[in-house]
Amino acid sequence: MSKENIHAVFSLALSGFSLDVKLDLPGHGVTALFGHSGSGKTTVLRCVAGLIQAPGGFLSVNGEVWQDDEQGVFLSPHQRSLGYVFQEASLFAHLTVRKNLEYGQKRVPEKSRKVGFEQALELLGIESLLARRPEYLSGGERQRVAIARALLTSPKLLLLDEPLAALDQKRKNEILPYLERLHDELSIPLLYVSHSLDEVAQLADYLVLLDHGQMIASGPLQETLVRLDLPGAFTEDAGVVVETIVGAHEEADALTRLDFSGGLIYVALRPESVGCRLRCRIHARDVSLTLERPAATSILNVVPATVIGTAEAEPPAHVLVHLDAGGTPLLARITRRSRDRLGITGGLAVWAQIKAVSLLG
């Protein structure tokens, strides 16, 4: 067992629910726990935090053992070097933002602090909020302060339990770029609970899929999203995440060209500099297939690909097609009739027409 990972074994029986998971997760980056309501996401997080003790359980975080019931080891929550951010910000209403942040920082001896006060302010963009009390903050601002307070405890693990669930879409869009910054600029591993696949696609490096208290899949985000044995897990949200680089800006047509291993795609003109990395989401429902390169089409994004395999999908009239586009995986949702008419089968060369590309961040 590598010391540079998070290893957890939890088995727990609750009223009307049982949890039985064994996890080997990266000790860095963002790991998303994904699943529908009641799948066990929050229960896993509470076991990691020590708020629930799973009998016979085990937990180690990058070499530190926080629970080993066989050896009589169980660290209480305050003994675990972690930060926990809930759906609701849970700030102290009678304290200003500054005092809330200082409360988190004071939990850590000065010589052990790894995240500085000014660094946390800048990372979460809350410099102008220090004198306010929570009642004068928007929902997104309160969550950013809560995350900053958790960071100021200099945790070795940061837990985020659906931190955007209580926010409307505008507030979610406000806070997501700050969560991306945590991913890009800090070495603290994050466990991120969500039932929103768009959030997971934007933030995560690694994905754990839970259902009825069981882990049914675990692996790097891009690899797990295209597994054809899991089509029901993602329903209408089936799709892929593609890492691209800004290749050029074609201002005459108000387009930006994004390059990736499978070719290039165009999106509406973007402000990012040439060479900047952008993560994109391409839904299977937005990909159609043709055997010949179309000579006249309004669809700008057409890339060559090879069929890897197919799987049944919902509704029953549809199938999912797993494609390899120059080393980049894609998914296409087409009808059974189209599959049969085109002879879609493993190894077939096709052209993938991408009708829409969602930029993540």
pLDDT digits (tens, 9 = 90+) for 172-183: 888 888 898 888
Q: Lowest-confidence range among 159-163, 188-192, 317-321, 357-361?
A: 357-361
Cα separation, 174 vs 178, whole angstroms: 8
Residue 3 has pLDDT above 80, yes or no: no
Letter string b/e over residues 338-350, b meaning 16 or more CB atoms within 10 A of that residue's CB: bbeebebeeebeb
Q: How far apart are the first and last CA of the chain?
A: 35
What are the CA-CA distances from residue 254 to residues 116, 270, 286 (Å)? 41, 9, 22
Instruction: Give mean pLDDT, residues 212-221.
Output: 94
**Predicted local confidence at residue 1, as pLDDT:** 53
Q: Lowest-confidence range among 3-7, 106-110, 215-219, 300-304?
A: 106-110
Cα separation, 260 vs 193, whole angstroms: 29
Please list, in sequence order, all residues whose beta carbon lies within 8 angstroms of the beta carbon of residue 17, skipping any fewer than 6 positions away.
38, 40, 43, 213
**Predicted local confidence at residue 235, as pLDDT:** 65
pTM of this prediction? Answer: 0.89
Q: Lowest-confidence range among 6-20, 108-122, 146-160?
A: 108-122
- Write the pLDDT tens digit of every residue in 113-151: 888 899 999 999 999 999 999 999 998 999 999 999 999
Instruction: Give mean pLDDT, residues 71-97.
Output: 92
**Predicted local confidence at residue 296, as pLDDT:** 87
Residue 63 has pLDDT above 60, yes or no: yes
Please list, in sequence order, all residues whose beta carbon lies within 8 angstroms of the beta carbon of residue 31, skipping any fewer than 6 positions away.
6, 25, 189, 190, 191, 192, 204, 205, 206, 207, 208
Cα separation, 302 vs 323, whole angstroms: 13
Residue 231 has pLDDT above 80, yes or no: no
**Predicted local confidence at residue 232, as pLDDT:** 59
Domains of the chain, each with CATH number or no CATH: 5-225 (3.40.50.300), 239-360 (2.40.50.100)
Residue 15 has which token pair?
């009223």
**Percent of the chain scoring above 70 in pLDDT:** 98
Query: Which of 234-243, 288-297, 341-350 is most confident?
Result: 341-350
Cα separation, 76 vs 73, whole angstroms: 10
Cα separation, 259 vs 248, whole angstroms: 9
Cα separation, 209 vs 33, whole angstroms: 6
Q: Is 49 strand, coil or helix?
A: helix
* Edge-to-edge strand ranges of the sheet holding 239-250: 263-268, 255-260, 239-250, 277-283, 358-360
**Predicted local confidence at residue 195, as pLDDT:** 85
Instruction: Give mean pLDDT, residues 199-206.
Output: 92
Provide the 8-state DSSP code for 78.
G
